[in-house]
């Protein structure tokens, strides 16, 4: 850089250096205090930015002083450009700041001239974004990071000019930067206490769609937003600014849900995420999105369901009649004879439905990357050929689901109960579940028949005492229905519960450490009725003594009787290390009085007592 360029830069910086030492104009003070400017700096309600990266700010106090950052930003925008590398200039690194400031003030008065930014312009033109969608992925109980679901943004290209699938659109993700070999237990602990950096990243949408829908078997919901092009451009510019920025990741509240909401908050007035909440779930963001208005109309323009390959198979299978299902099972039992399949006994439409389900079945089983080494790839091609051999005619299934995530109830739950215990006096009980759901309320956006909760506590109280009834630090029941019964669609269920509990139903002074886990198999015995059997092991005792360990068998039946009524029956036989046995039986029923209000009846029995409870609960 030559001497004249250095001198020019110095002279341009003088006005901003002087501004920091004298009264700043009311106009600039007003801009610095505006909500949009502070959103561009990613400030929280505490007046401090969530960004950890020093290079996100031009002022050394920029993370806490919006006026200092404004003055430093204007100074940086006025700085000379390096002709050989214009993309390193402040305007090119922070296009959203530049775009918005240009609309607020006469930017030329500050010696600022608009630059051409090749890299950002290429990014912007490649997207050619006409709208933005929020993608909700349902929960995935095999990965703690995805227990509560996940959110993505999808940048939708101009549909009129689009010559490719929307799978080629760009998706924006937010996640913790976790080493690939990180221990899962360590990951959970470090995620809870904020020991990971996190960042926004961009990738083609097909990568996420393939991972979620095809590998992890998670349904996706796409909520397309009604945003004006000016606001879309501002969001795109801000995304560009954030791609190199580091955040601090907290599993419960400063997660993908919170920061995706904060990103969209840039162009919205309504609040999507409350920073003071101790936990933030993707589903709560979807509920807030659906309730927001934008320029006098709903923010959400369209909702599209993208089923997983398992959901596609299950929906097709559910539309088959008894004879069609029997024919399908017969074909699948002898896949080597696909070329000789005879469906002449069925109507043409019924033949289409059988073969289309057969195609989805082998698509569900096969590993495309394995090529001929996976025989299901061969069977899949043969099933497609069989479809071509049938007379023409559509056998179209409009894949749909009534379980739209925004229709679900709120994530937290509190219940007040009256309890009668045959071995004790009657007492009151309070249940608090910060998040997320149990088997009886696993509805919209949740894994059916399953349960997931963290920090769930149940306290008993009477005139004379307050006692801990049960505490689940982490409780997961991953129940699989195996709806078709076809080979390969036999997924195993499992459960885990860690915390503390009373050792006996008839005792309130027998607090003990509890750890139990099990592995089993479930099936849908009838419509909306799941039956699952487990073999498990556990520990329930005050001291670390092997006598408190046990093996167990468990049977659970969960029935969604109606839209409002659900019931669950549970039997567990425990065989303790010291020779003791214990039989536990539980019956629970739930009736939804409203979306966020329910009434429950429960009966529990073991070797010591029988307990009956009535409870009124509300979601919040």
Contacts of 228 (CB under 8 A, 6+ apart): 295
Measured distance CA(619)–CA(600) in Å, rounded: 13
Q: Mind listing the pLDDT tens digit for each residue in 361-415?
A: 999 998 877 777 889 999 999 999 999 999 887 656 778 776 899 998 899 999 9
Per DSSP, the residues of 52-87 read --GGG-SSTTTTT-HHHHHHHHHHHHHSPP-TT-GG
Mean pLDDT of 261-268: 97
Mean pLDDT of 182-190: 84
Render the burial of 408-419: b for 16+ CB within 10 Å, e for the rest: bbebbbebebeb
The architecture CATH gives domain 408-619: Beta Barrel (2.40)
Q: 510 in helix, strand or coil?
A: coil
Residue 225 corresponds to which tokens in the numbers above? Answer: 């937003």
Report, in angstroms and rounded to the nearest whole number, the Rg of the chain calculated over CA atoms.
Answer: 29
Mean pLDDT of 314-343: 92
Three-point CA angle 395, 374, 165, nearest 5°: 50
Model pLDDT, residue 55: 95
Residue 5 has pLDDT above 70, yes or no: no
Model pLDDT, residue 16: 45
Backbone angles phi, psi at 417, to 5 degrees: -130, 155
Q: Is 477 exposed, middle or buried (0-12, 13-18, 19+ CB in 10 A)?
A: buried
Looking at per-residue confidence, does 24 or 34 come out higher? 34
Backbone angles phi, psi at 44, to 5 degrees: -90, 180
Model pLDDT, residue 14: 42
Q: Mind listing the pLDDT tens digit for each residue in 129-144?
A: 999 999 999 988 777 6
Chain mean pLDDT for the chain: 90
Question: pTM for the complete prediction?
Answer: 0.87
- Give the whole-number percent of the chain exceeding pLDDT 70: 94
Model pLDDT, residue 1: 43
Residue 120 has pLDDT above 80, yes or no: yes
Q: Which of the residue ranges 182-186, 214-218, 246-250, 462-466 has the most confident prediction, judged by mean pLDDT? A: 246-250
Render the burial of 222-247: b for 16+ CB within 10 Å, e for the rest: bbbbbbeeebbbbbbbbbbbbeebbb
Measured distance CA(350)–CA(189) in Å, rounded: 53
> From the centroid of its chain, how far is CA 537?
30
Instruction: Give kind and range of the element (H or E) at residue 130.
Output: strand 129-137
Model pLDDT, residue 479: 92
Q: Mind listing the pLDDT tens digit for each residue in 404-460?
A: 999 988 999 999 999 999 988 899 999 999 988 999 998 887 888 999 998 999 999
Q: Nearest to residue 500, comparing CAs of 468, 466, 475, 454?
A: 468
Q: Mind listing the pLDDT tens digit for each residue in 602-619?
A: 999 999 999 999 999 999
Q: Give the confidence band of 4 by pLDDT, cuts at 50, 70, 90.
A: very low
Residues of the chain with CATH 2.40.160.40: 408-619
Model pLDDT, residue 165: 67
Contacts of 296 (CB under 8 A, 6+ apart): none
Strand partners, 570: 556, 586
The count of residues in the chain is 620
Measured distance CA(213)–CA(617) in Å, rounded: 34
Q: Nearest to residue 206, comparing CAs of 165, 236, 157?
A: 165
Q: Is 169 exposed, middle or buried (0-12, 13-18, 19+ CB in 10 A)?
A: buried
Distances (CA, A) of 81 to 59, 90, 111: 19, 9, 13
Q: Mind listing the pLDDT tens digit for each residue in 74-116?
A: 999 999 999 899 999 999 999 999 999 999 999 888 999 999 9
DSSP 267: G
Do the beta carbons of residue 360 and residue 376 sit within 8 Å? no
Model pLDDT, residue 23: 65
Model pLDDT, residue 18: 40
Q: Give the confidence band of 164 by pLDDT, cuts at 50, 70, 90.
A: low
Measured distance CA(188)–CA(566) in Å, rounded: 32
Q: State how beta strands 427-433 and 451-461 pair.
A: antiparallel
Three-point CA angle 284, 285, 287, nearest 5°: 65
Model pLDDT, residue 362: 94
Q: 373 in helix, strand or coil?
A: helix
Q: 18 in helix, strand or coil?
A: helix
């Amino acid at each position: 850089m030559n001497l004249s360029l250095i001198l020019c830069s110095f002279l341009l910086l003088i006005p901003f250096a002087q501004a920091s030492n004298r009264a700043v104009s009311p106009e600039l003070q007003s801009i610095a205090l505006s909500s949009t400017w502070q959103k561009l700096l990613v400030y929280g309600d505490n007046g401090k930015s969530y960004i950890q990266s020093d290079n996100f700010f031009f002022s050394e106090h920029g993370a806490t002083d919006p006026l200092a950052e404004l003055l430093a930003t204007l100074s940086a925008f006025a700085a000379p450009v390096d002709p050989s590398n214009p993309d390193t200039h402040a305007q090119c690194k922070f296009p959203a700041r530049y775009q918005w400031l240009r609309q607020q003030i006469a930017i030329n008065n500050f010696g600022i001239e608009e630059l051409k930014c090749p890299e950002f312009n290429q990014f912007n033109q490649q997207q050619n974004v006409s709208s933005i969608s929020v993608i909700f992925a349902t929960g995935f109980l095999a990965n703690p990071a995805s227990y509560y679901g996940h959110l993505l943004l999808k940048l939708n290209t101009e549909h009129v000019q689009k010559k490719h699938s929307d799978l080629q659109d760009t998706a924006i993700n937010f996640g913790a930067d976790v080493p690939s070999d990180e221990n899962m237990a360590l990951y959970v602990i470090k995620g809870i206490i904020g020991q990971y950096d996190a960042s926004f990243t961009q990738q083609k949408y097909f990568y996420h769609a393939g991972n979620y829908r095809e590998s992890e078997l998670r349904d996706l919901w796409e909520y397309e937003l009604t945003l004006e092009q000016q606001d879309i451009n501002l969001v795109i510019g801000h995304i560009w600014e954030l791609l190199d920025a580091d955040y601090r990741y907290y599993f419960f509240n400063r997660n993908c849900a919170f920061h995706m909401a904060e990103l969209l908050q840039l162009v919205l007035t309504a609040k999507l995420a409350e920073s003071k909440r101790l936990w933030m779930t993707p589903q709560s963001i979807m509920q807030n999105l659906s309730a927001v208005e934008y320029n006098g109309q709903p923010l959400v323009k369209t909702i599209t369901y993208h089923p997983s390959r398992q959901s596609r198979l299950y929906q097709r299978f559910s539309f088959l009649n008894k004879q069609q299902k029997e024919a399908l099972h017969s074909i699948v039992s002898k896949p080597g004879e696909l070329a000789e399949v005879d469906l002449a006994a069925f109507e043409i439409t019924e033949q289409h439905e059988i073969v289309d389900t057969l195609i989805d079945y082998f698509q569900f089983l096969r590993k495309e990357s394995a090529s001929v080494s996976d025989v299901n790839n061969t069977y899949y091609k043969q099933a497609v050929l069989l479809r071509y051999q049938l007379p023409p005619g559509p056998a179209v299934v409009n894949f749909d689901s009534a379980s739209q995530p925004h229709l679900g109830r709120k994530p937290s739950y509190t219940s007040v109960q009256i309890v009668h215990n045959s071995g004790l006096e009657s007492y009151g009980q309070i249940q608090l579940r910060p998040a997320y759901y149990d088997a009886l309320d696993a509805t919209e956006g949740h894994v059916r028949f399953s349960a997931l909760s963290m920090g769930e506590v149940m306290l008993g109280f009477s005139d004379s005492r307050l006692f801990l009834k049960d505490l689940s630090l982490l409780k997961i029941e991953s129940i699989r229905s195996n709806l078709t019964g076809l080979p390969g669609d036999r997924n195993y269920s499992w459960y885990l519960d860690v915390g503390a509990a009373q050792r006996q139903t008839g005792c309130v002074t027998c607090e003990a450490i509890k750890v139990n886990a099990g592995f089993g198999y479930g099936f849908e015995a009838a419509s909306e009725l799941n039956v699952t059997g487990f073999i498990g092991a556990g520990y329930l005792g005050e001291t670390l003594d092997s006598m408190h360990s046990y093996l167990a068998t468990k049977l659970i039946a969960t029935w969604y009787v109606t839209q409002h009524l659900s019931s669950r029956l549970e039997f567990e036989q425990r065989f303790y290390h010291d020779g003791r046995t214990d039989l536990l039986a539980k019956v629970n029923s739930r009736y939804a009085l409203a979306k966020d209000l329910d009434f429950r009846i429960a009966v529990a029995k073991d070797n010591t007592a029988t307990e009956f409870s009535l409870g009124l609960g509300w979601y919040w």
